């Protein structure tokens, strides 16, 4: 379900943004507009949708308009034209009072340089949103303390932000945003100011928090790896325009422009592609009720030397090899007698990089199964190993 | 040998000057415009037409002045020293506290205690009124560039105008005594607190404001919960400067009959009494140093860890 829907959003900075709107629509270049009229185009006719519970990453280099765009979503920037529909209501039309309510209840923001109130303690910062909402002192202290421990900041309540390291400051920033229990979390390059190790830690923590809370997250970054790691879908921005919106795999496999192709060139595919992207539907399967002869015939037909055995609900039972099956025919055994289990299984969302050691150590295909042991597909070793090059 | 040479040079230069001076080098007397008389008539007009306002201002400042003086005179002298010591100790350290108390004690020994209280009373009154007027103006300036454009040149003028000049209209509007002194002092001491309030609020980090707005804060909430606390250390510096300038002006204001240490200096100057002038002068220095240090110490407490 669509939570946020942006339609033809344009944001122009300058003395008379509406006046130059027509020129922008006619496709004047950014530089020319600046030279002629002194106006800057931040965001140019952007449309996209963000679904409920999704992490939507907006990726772009500096000056691409991504920060301008995210500030439009809580109207810190007033759009020049366009609609922003949240839960069916166009927030651009909101009155001052409605806007305040919207900001208090529906949306919270995390900032690149944290934006913490240096005159307030950690707990005071986290309580800020609740204070504005008019929640009683006791209640907000209780909520803030809970959130504080959920981001691992126990014992730091009464410190001032500047006494904390960068990583911890951003935890406070995140906690402050979460304390308000917003539906939508806007994150403006939240981890860019952190050093790489802390950044990775924070990314994992965000993934963990998100798996619990299921917020709708709009995440800005200039780092394509980060966008691919965190984003369910990724929008790539350039010069105020969205060049492509797609899942990381789609962007990786079919980039929409040379610009994006250039970007994804250096991406480590094994960190983006998952088991489900490279598995294929097994063309041959047998059930235990089928005799060994059927199994041999299947293997012969498909030119393979082993076969997965599933029951009629496609629950994985085991694997038979050609040698064992021929033996079984001779000795009149059934398939259940010769099942072997020393193959690897994996979930559909495992990253390929985690499959590489497995693929190297087995001679059988890897079975992709869901949590009920149902066989979803198989991955042959060659497709894992070939993605390395 | 050298002297005649120098003389020659001198003569030559003198001649050069005389040669240069022709009819165009001096501004013609026929083109004349006197702005002073308009200011004069403005003050007169104010005096005749808005005298009610000045009476009100006069009454308010006298009221505040009186309350403060009553309080200061009510304090036993040793208690006053104790307070100075305690603030000095809390704000800086125990040695400073002792030194400050001793300096005040010295003023007492000079026989200038009552005059000091009078001076302090006027300084405090001027500062309080300056803050009540100045901080809101500073806030307005930081919010609106229009207000800023109006006040900037006004503040420049207020600060560069020789402080004596304020005394003339002050005397015309409020006659002689403490009230014109307080009035002139306020005008003279107002700019720093306005400027630094404006600066302090403008300096608040943009992301911090965005954060405040993003949680749905109203303008008032942003001002009170974020901007003012953030600007407080800067505003404290402004208050300190305002206080120092008020002290300087209160001394000058003795010319219009404001009693206190300044008056003592004036009398000493007119009588060429070095001893009397020195004691009063050094007392003013002591007061200035103590007030400045105490303020700095207190302002330090308002800073948040960086």
- pLDDT value at B239 more than 80: yes
Looking at 3.40.190.10, 3.10.580.10, 3.60.15.10, 3.90.1150.10, the CATH number of the domain A276-386 comes to 3.10.580.10
Of the two residues A284 and B270, the one the predictor is more confident about is B270
Q: Are B208 and A132 in contact (CB < 8 Å)?
A: no
How large is the average pLDDT for residues A363-376? 86
- Write the residue in B208, B216, B304 that is nearest to A160 by C-beta: B304
- pLDDT value at B198 more than 90: yes
| ipTM over cut 0.95 | no
The pLDDT score that the predictor gives to residue A218 is: 94
Q: Which residue has the tokens 């304090």?
A: B75
The pLDDT score that the predictor gives to residue A254 is: 84
- The Cα of A46 is separated from the nearest Cα of chain B by a number of Å equal to 22
How large is the average pLDDT for residues B18-40? 77
Give the global pTM.
0.75
Supply the mean pLDDT for chain A: 87
Residue of B nearest to A98 (CA): B216
- pLDDT value at B16 more than 70: no
Token pair listed for B276: 């009397």
Residue B72: count of CB within 10 angstroms of its CB: 16
- pLDDT value at B96 more than 70: yes
- pLDDT value at B33 more than 50: yes
| Range from A68-72, B122-126, B253-257 carrying the lowest mean pLDDT | B253-257
Using pLDDT thresholds of 50, 70 and 90, give the confidence band for residue A111: very high
Residues of chain A with CATH 3.40.50.300: 2-106+182-267
How large is the average pLDDT for residues A98-114? 92
Q: Using a pLDDT cut of 70, give the percent of chain B over it.
A: 92
Of the two residues B19 and A243, the one the predictor is more confident about is A243
Q: Are B232 and A100 in contact (CB < 8 Å)?
A: no
Helix (H/G/I), strand (E/B), else coil: A351: strand
Where is mean pLDDT largest: A74-88, A319-333, A359-373, B13-27? A74-88
The pLDDT score that the predictor gives to residue B12 is: 47
Using pLDDT thresholds of 50, 70 and 90, give the confidence band for residue B21: low
The pLDDT score that the predictor gives to residue B178 is: 83
- Write the residue in A112, A114, A132 that is nearest to B215 by C-beta: A132
The pLDDT score that the predictor gives to residue B41 is: 86
How large is the average pLDDT for residues A258-273? 79
From chain A, the residues in CB contact with B217 under 8 A are 132
- The Cα of A206 is separated from the nearest Cα of chain B by a number of Å equal to 20
Q: Using a pLDDT cut of 70, give the percent of chain A over it.
A: 99
From chain B, the residues in CB contact with A128 under 8 A are 211-212, 215, 225
Nearest by Cα to A59 from A195, A263, A204: A263
With b for 16 or more beta-carbon neighbours within 10 A and e for fewer, the A51-72 pattern comes to eeebbbbbbbeeebbbbbbbbb
For an interface test with B, the pick among A109, A118, A174, A192 (most B C-beta atoms closer than 10 Å) comes out as: A118
From chain A, the residues in CB contact with B305 under 8 A are 118, 160, 162-163
Interface check B215 vs A, CB under 8 A: yes
Which domains are present in chain B? 52-301 (1.10.3720.10)
For an interface test with A, the pick among B201, B203, B204, B216 (most A C-beta atoms closer than 10 Å) comes out as: B216
Report the C-alpha gap between B66 and B61 in whole angstroms.
8
Token pair listed for A363: 């001679």
The pLDDT score that the predictor gives to residue A311 is: 85
The pLDDT score that the predictor gives to residue B25 is: 76
Using pLDDT thresholds of 50, 70 and 90, give the confidence band for residue B7: low
State residue A311 phi and psi, 5-degree precision. -85, -170
- pLDDT value at B220 more than 90: yes
CATH hierarchy code of domain A2-106+182-267: 3.40.50.300
Report the C-alpha gap between A261 and A273 in whole angstroms.
16
Supply the mean pLDDT for chain B: 85
Per-residue model confidence as pLDDT tens digits over A290-316: 888 888 888 888 888 888 888 888 888
How large is the average pLDDT for residues A255-282? 80
Residues of chain A with CATH 3.10.580.10: 276-386
Contact B284, B260 (CB under 8 A): no
The pLDDT score that the predictor gives to residue A141 is: 92
């Amino acid at each position: 379900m669509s939570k946020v829907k942006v339609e033809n959003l344009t944001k122009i900075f300058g003395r008379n943004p509406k006046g130059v709107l027509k020129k922008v629509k006619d496709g004047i270049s950014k530089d020319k507009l600046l030279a002629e009229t002194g106006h800057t185009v931040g965001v140019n006719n952007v449309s996209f949708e963000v679904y409920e519970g999704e992490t939507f990453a907006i990726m772009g280099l500096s000056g691409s308009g991504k920060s301008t765009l995210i500030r439009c979503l809580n109207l810190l920037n007033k759009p020049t034209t366009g609609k922003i529909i949240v839960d069916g209501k166009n927030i651009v039309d909101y009155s001052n009072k409605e806007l305040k309510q919207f900001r208090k209840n529906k949306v919270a923001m995390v900032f690149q340089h944290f934006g913490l109130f240096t005159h307030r303690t950690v707990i005071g910062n986290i309580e800020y949103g609740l204070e504005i909402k008019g929640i009683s002192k006791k209640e907000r202290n209780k909520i803030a303390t809970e959130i504080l421990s959920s981001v691992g900041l126990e014992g730091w309540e009464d410190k001032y932000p500047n006494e904390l390291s960068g990583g911890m400051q951003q935890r406070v920033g995140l906690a402050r945003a979460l304390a308000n229990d917003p539906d939508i979390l806007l994150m403006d390059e939240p981890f860019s100011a952190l050093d790489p190790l802390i950044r990775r830690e924070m990314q994992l923590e965000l993934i963990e928090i998100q798996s619990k809370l299921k917020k709708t997250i709009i995440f800005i970054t200039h780092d394509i790896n980060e966008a691919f790691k965190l984003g369910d879908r990724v929008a790539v921005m350039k010069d105020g325009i969205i060049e492509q919106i797609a899942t990381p795999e789609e962007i990786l496999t079919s980039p929409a422009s040379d610009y994006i192709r250039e970007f994804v060139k250096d991406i480590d595919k094994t960190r983006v592609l998952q088991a489900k992207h490279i598995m294929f539907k097994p063309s041959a399967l047998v059930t235990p009720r089928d005799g060994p002869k059927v199994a041999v015939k299947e293997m012969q037909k498909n030119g393979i030397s082993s076969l997965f055995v599933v029951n009629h609900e496609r629950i994985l039972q085991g694997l038979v090899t050609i040698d064992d099956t021929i033996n079984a025919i001779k000795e009149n055994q059934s398939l259940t007698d010769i099942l072997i289990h020393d193959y690897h299984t994996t979930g559909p969302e495992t990253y390929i990089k985690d499959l590489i050691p497995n693929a190297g150590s087995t001679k059988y295909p890897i079975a992709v199964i869901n949590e009920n042991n149902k066989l979803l597909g198989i991955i042959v070793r060659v497709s894992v190993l070939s993605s390395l090059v | 040998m050298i002297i005649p040479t120098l003389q020659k040079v001198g003569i030559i230069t003198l001649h050069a000057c005389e040669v240069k001076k022709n009819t165009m080098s001096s501004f013609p007397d026929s083109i004349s415009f006197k702005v002073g008389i308009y200011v004069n008539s403005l003050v007169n007009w104010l005096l005749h037409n808005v005298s009610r306002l000045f009476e009100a201002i006069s009454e308010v400042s006298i009221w505040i002045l009186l309350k403060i003086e009553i309080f200061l005179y009510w304090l036993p002298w040793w208690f006053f020293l104790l307070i100075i010591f305690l603030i000095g100790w809390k704000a800086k350290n125990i040695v400073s506290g002792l030194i400050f108390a001793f300096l005040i004690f010295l003023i007492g020994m000079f026989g200038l205690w009552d005059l000091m209280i009078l001076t302090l009373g006027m300084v405090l009154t001027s500062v309080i009124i300056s803050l009540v007027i100045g901080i809101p103006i500073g806030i307005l300036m930081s919010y609106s560039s229009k207000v800023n454009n109006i006040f900037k040149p006004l503040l420049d003028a207020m600060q560069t105008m020789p402080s004596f000049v304020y005394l003339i209209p002050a005397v015309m509007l409020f006659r002689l005594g403490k009230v014109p002194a307080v009035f002139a002092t306020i005008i003279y001491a107002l700019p720093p607190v306005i400027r630094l309030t404006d600066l302090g609020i403008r300096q608040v980090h943009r992301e911090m404001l965005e954060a405040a707005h993003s949680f749905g804060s109203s303008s008032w909430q942003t001002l009170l919960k974020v901007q003012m606390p953030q600007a407080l250390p800067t505003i404290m510096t402004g208050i300190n400067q305002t206080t120092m300038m008020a002290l300087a002006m209160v001394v000058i204001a003795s010319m219009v009959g404001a009693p206190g240490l300044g008056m003592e200096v004036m009398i000493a100057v007119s009588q060429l009494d070095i001893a009397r002038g020195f004691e009063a002068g050094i007392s003013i220095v002591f007061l200035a140093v103590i007030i400045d240090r105490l303020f700095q110490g207190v302002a330090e407490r308002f800073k948040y860890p960086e």
